């Protein structure tokens, strides 16, 4: 398996994966699929370095992506700059093969190199596979928001988790 930084040519595949989960699950609490314009605006936020990255997994070079991991701003206020939200999405047929673990491990390695202190994730429950993955990788539960989301005619709880990535961050940059 190859894990690498997302390319512009991967955008349509990433878009399709995200929209699959929006349309078919409560794991993503968006109600309507991302349109091209909204997706492109979000997709442009990722870079090869820094706190906001996206990695993709492929079986072989130049093959379709199996999934992706990403980090996005935790909060727009400057004091939160050392913390990120993280997520992992897989092609449905790629689940349960260790791909999510490898994507996250690679992402966390890059985030530590780029001065990130903590990673946070929110998991709409029930979603036992995602909870197992995050706990296996050292995430700790910090709380549950009950009936915070509503999708498909049902209220959903979200469990919030955090993972310490580094002990020191360079506080000279704002």
Tens of pLDDT along 36-85? 998 999 999 999 888 999 999 999 999 999 999 999 999 999 999 999 99
pLDDT classification of 173: cutoffs 50, 70, 90? low
18 closest CA partner among 30, 1, 6: 30
pLDDT tens-digit map of 88-117:
999 999 999 999 999 999 999 999 999 999
40: which residues sit within 8 A by CB, 6+ positions away? 11
Q: What is the Cα–Cα distance from 167 to 67, expressed in whole angstroms?
A: 29
Give CA 49 to chain center in angstroms: 16
């Amino acid at each position: 398996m190859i894990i690498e930084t997302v390319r512009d040519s991967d955008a349509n595949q990433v878009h399709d994966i995200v929209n699959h989960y929006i349309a078919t699950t409560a794991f993503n609490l968006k109600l309507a699929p991302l349109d091209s314009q909204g997706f492109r605006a979000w997709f442009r936020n990722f870079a090869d370095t820094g706190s906001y990255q996206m990695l993709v997994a492929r079986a072989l070079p130049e093959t379709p992506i199996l999934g992706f991991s990403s980090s996005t701003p935790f909060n727009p206020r400057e004091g939160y700059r050392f913390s990120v939200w993280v997520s992992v999405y897989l092609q449905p047929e790629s689940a349960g093969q260790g791909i999510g673990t490898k994507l996250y491990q690679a992402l966390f390695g890059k985030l530590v190199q780029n001065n990130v202190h903590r990673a946070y994730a929110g998991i709409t429950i029930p979603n036992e596979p995602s909870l197992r993955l995050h706990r296996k990788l050292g995430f700790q539960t910090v709380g549950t928001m009950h009936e915070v989301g509503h999708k498909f005619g049902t209220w959903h709880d979200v469990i919030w988790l955090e993972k310490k990535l580094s002990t020191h961050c360079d506080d000279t940059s704002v």
